[in-house]
């Protein structure tokens, strides 16, 4: 059983920054950050591949390009989501997810992710 533990959410003013963390159990995986706002469907924010320690590939939703950065610390089995220039519309519960079967690249399809964290709330005030 893979466990994913998110941290780093909170309340921030528009234009501010937050960094989310997600620690995985057992080993590194291809991972993604998704978010879900009230009344909306869950959507991909960013994803990062697992390349066995060489160069990783990152994919971003258009609405976070230039503002958010996904990264990983392989030794800590942890991925991060650095969120800058936050906007009120970024308010949502943010979930990290692990794709255990992906050997390369990333996926934007939430159904391809096998395990999910419980989520962390991000609230951006105007």
Q: What are phi and psi of 79, to 5 degrees?
A: -115, 160
Task: Give the model's pLDDT for residue 78.
Answer: 95
Q: Is 64 left (phi over 0), alpha (psi -120 to 50) or beta?
A: alpha
Give 43-60 pLDDT, tens digit per residue.
999 999 987 767 789 999
Give 67-82 pLDDT, tens digit per residue.
999 999 989 999 999 9
Query: In 2-101, which ranges are E strands?
Result: 4-7, 10-13, 18-24, 30-36, 43-48, 58-60, 68-73, 78-83, 92-99
CB-based contact 61:44 (threshold 8 Å): yes
**What is the average pLDDT across 3-29?**
95
Task: Give the model's pLDDT for residue 122.
Answer: 98
CB count within 10 Å of CB 64 equals 21
Mean pLDDT over each residue of the chain, to the nearest integer: 94
CB count within 10 Å of CB 42 equals 16
* The Cα angle at residue 110 between residues 109 and 116, in degrees rounded to 5: 150
> Which percentage of the chain shows pLDDT scores above 90?
83
38 — pLDDT class (breaks 50, 70, 90) = very high
**What is the average pLDDT across 4-13?**
96
Task: Give the model's pLDDT for residue 86.
Answer: 98
For the cut 90, the answer to whether the pLDDT of residue 18 exceeds it is yes
């Amino acid at each position: 059983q893979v466990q994913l533990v998110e941290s780093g959410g909170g309340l921030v003013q528009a234009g501010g920054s937050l960094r989310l963390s997600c620690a995985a159990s057992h080993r590194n995986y291809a991972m993604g950050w998704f978010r879900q706002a009230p009344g909306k469907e869950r959507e991909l924010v960013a994803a990062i591949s697992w390349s066995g320690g060489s160069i990783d590939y990152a994919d971003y939703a258009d609405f976070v390009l230039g503002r958010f950065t996904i990264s990983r610390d392989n030794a800590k089995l942890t991925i991060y989501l650095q969120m800058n220039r936050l906007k009120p519309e970024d308010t949502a519960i943010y979930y990290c997810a692990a794709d255990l079967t992906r050997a390369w690249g990333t996926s934007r399809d939430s159904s391809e992710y096998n395990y999910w964290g419980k989520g962390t709330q991000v609230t951006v005030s105007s």
